[in-house]
Structure 1
């Protein structure tokens, strides 16, 4: 089933003045300390989405990029520059990764990284063609220096094209993150792109570490990150509103977490970065290796950058098959790994109240804006 991500227009508009205070999720991740070690410098993240608007806080952080939007039949000469965005979804994802926090926008988790905007038809009446366009974008990103690809979108259309494009990107050493979707509410669901081999599917949690009720979950969930209240573009992409970011925002944070780790270890491969993120993630509190709500856990790049934890291992292979160290935590009364379909997501809590001090996250946005995001299930 294909579902549109919920719209974000109805939010609380934020003041235009710059907010110098970091949001709680970044302070709990120890972001200021991490930035003294690595801030994402040297890493390019391709954000394949609705484009990006040149708003305050993104200056010098966004590359020229490219647009793969097809012109209307009646207007074959019509062009859509990548530095434009009808609904703000791509702008929000970009700011969550590299924003400087000015004008009420987000403080990005990897402010030293660069974003390569790749525009698709997301947020337009032609959104049914966005996955095919995104597949072209995946190949473009792989050929033009992106180390990480952020897909806060999903859909069944052109899945075969996306599969081959992802395989091509992976052959070039690129790490791909995909949002799980925002249609949880007790029902397992799958973004089919997240089920592709080697792709890291990202769910969403709140600031306490509880899975968001709306976060899609299933066998394709590999990681989860903060997707609660955050600055989201609204009012036809003219302002910032506070709204749940959902799995879209969480995915951007996961991509940024990977950028921090890769920036500190530029000689590592995509496999090694993914392996260490999984090894050091805040795992389920019941002692399970993974569960369908948060996957292997919540990325904590501070464990890698500040505590020097994690073993990158071999430069190739499947990071999801690598042994994950057992976390020292108090088991939960409800074993999330065996919770039945429809069980309350709280049964899968990650115990983030404990782990947030070292969180290095990924958040996915329920920005709806007409985006087509599907719910998921996995490949393993």
Structure 2
């Protein structure tokens, strides 16, 4: 079973120069991070980063909890262990730094530097990645049971056996009040716009990538389950093999980390809010699509702007127990009447209902599935959170 890795976009990145012509951390200035941190910096919020682990690099001291590793050992070394504070590929380290880093030693300044990251290591980025679905499911449950308020999934799985494990684990985490963010994927330009199926689960916030001007990145997978967006173009990230800091596209992975950090800032300022309320204000205050739409499949309801909540006091948290992403339940057609005179009106009501159906359905990705080792059928309509 293959694994969608909502990781880097298309470029491999370049080594961080001593003096860059442009600041790849400039999004923090646009987001008014310094002003926001005077109100809330993420203190009191734990973000679980289920990923490739985290390397203990400068800039993360005191910001990362011990964590856990669910990484499966190779068959020939069943007793080999993989600590959560190791990272072969640097992906999890980058996501962690984007959320809580202090900006030293060339690394990113995290958007929520007062938060804590709970690293949960999986086999992503290794030959053992076939086990990621089960590892992710364990990680979701562990995060929910160990104080995480937010789970960051900058990775994905195929629809099928993996999702049968992940879906109930997401529901379990949500039953504990956890807010789950998942990357849409970086496949818009290749492989027929494959979408991470986790983003279609009830209550999960699907995150797309935009550039500094808020325009959707060409690689960012898109669809009805895109809910929010954030920066995914030029950022500071770990170089190949986790050897240092480079500059390159962050993809929907980095965008997801910034969305998770945005939620951490809001929750830090309003610790009594629920996951539904944090979601609602993020959606209400997002930088809406430029064409005037309420939402689009490319960037969802818009670019996450926590400053509108923290500095401008915008956004109505609303009801604590109502999922703002839930679609209205379909209206049941009335039972057929035995009276002959009622037949014509019933048919007219049925026709009206048919014309008002939600326009997206469950597309069968037959050709894609054949090429992609079992992507299968993806649910593209968010359902009500259980």
TM-score w.r.t. structure 1 length? 0.82
- Aligned with 1:243: secondary structure? strand
| Greater relative CO, 1 or 2 (CA 8 Å, sep 6+) | 1
The equivalent of 1:363 in structure 2 is: none
* Unmatched 5+ stretches in structure 2: 329-358, 360-374
Distance change >3 Å, CA 79–CA 262, structure 1 → 2? same
Deviation of the 1:147 alpha carbon: 0.1
The equivalent of 1:351 in structure 2 is: none
Q: Is the 8 A contact 1:14 1:240 kept in 2?
A: yes
Q: Is the 8 A contact 1:71 1:79 kept in 2?
A: yes
Asked if 1:167 corresponds to 2:171, the answer is yes
**Structure 1 CA distance, aligned partners of 2:15 and 2:243?**
10
- Aligned with 1:309: secondary structure? coil
Deviation of the 1:236 alpha carbon: 1.3
The equivalent of 2:257 in structure 1 is: 252
**Structure 2 CA distance, aligned partners of 1:245 and 1:377?**
26
**Structure 2 CA distance, aligned partners of 1:100 and 1:81?**
23
Distance change >3 Å, CA 25–CA 322, structure 1 → 2? farther
- Aligned with 1:230: secondary structure? strand
Q: Which of 106, 109, 123 is matched with 1:107 structurally?
A: 109
The equivalent of 1:69 in structure 2 is: 71
Question: How many residues are treated as equivalent by the alignment?
Answer: 331
Alignment of structure 1 residues 50-89 onto 2, 5 Å: 50-89=52-91
**Structure 1 CA distance, aligned partners of 2:227 and 2:26?**
24
The equivalent of 2:129 in structure 1 is: 127
**Structure 2 CA distance, aligned partners of 1:267 and 1:285?**
33
Deviation of the 1:110 alpha carbon: 0.2
**Structure 2 CA distance, aligned partners of 1:168 and 1:296?**
26
* Unmatched 5+ stretches in structure 1: 324-337, 339-372
The equivalent of 1:90 in structure 2 is: 92
The equivalent of 1:199 in structure 2 is: 204
Distance change >3 Å, CA 162–CA 280, structure 1 → 2? same
Q: Is the 8 A contact 1:205 1:224 kept in 2?
A: yes
* Segment of structure 1 superposing worse, 156-165 or 215-224: 156-165
**Structure 2 CA distance, aligned partners of 1:105 and 1:377?**
37
Distance change >3 Å, CA 225–CA 75, structure 1 → 2? same
Higher gyration radius (CA): 2
**Structure 2 CA distance, aligned partners of 1:8 and 1:55?**
25
- Following TM superposition, the consecutive aligned residue runs of length 4 or more in structure 1 with deviations greater than 4 angstroms are 1-9, 15-18, 373-377
Distance change >3 Å, CA 132–CA 236, structure 1 → 2? same
Deviation of the 1:15 alpha carbon: 4.7
**Structure 1 CA distance, aligned partners of 2:146 and 2:41?**
21
Q: Is the 8 A contact 1:203 1:215 kept in 2?
A: yes
Deviation of the 1:321 alpha carbon: 4.8
The equivalent of 1:215 in structure 2 is: 220
The equivalent of 1:352 in structure 2 is: none
Alignment of structure 1 residues 228-247 onto 2, 5 Å: 228-247=233-252
The equivalent of 1:331 in structure 2 is: none
- Aligned with 1:319: secondary structure? coil
Distance change >3 Å, CA 77–CA 16, structure 1 → 2? farther
| C-alpha RMSD over aligned residues | 2.5
Deviation of the 1:189 alpha carbon: 3.0
The equivalent of 2:350 in structure 1 is: none
Distance change >3 Å, CA 213–CA 275, structure 1 → 2? same
**Structure 1 CA distance, aligned partners of 2:34 and 2:81?**
40
Distance change >3 Å, CA 206–CA 375, structure 1 → 2? farther
- Aligned with 1:299: secondary structure? coil
**Structure 2 CA distance, aligned partners of 1:230 and 1:15?**
13
TM-score w.r.t. structure 2 length? 0.81
* Segment of structure 1 superposing worse, 226-235 or 260-269: 226-235
The equivalent of 1:345 in structure 2 is: none
**Structure 1 CA distance, aligned partners of 2:235 and 2:121?**
23
Asked if 1:43 corresponds to 2:48, the answer is no
- Aligned with 1:236: secondary structure? helix
The equivalent of 2:300 in structure 1 is: 295
Distance change >3 Å, CA 149–CA 131, structure 1 → 2? same
Q: Is the 8 A contact 2:281 2:316 kept in 1?
A: yes
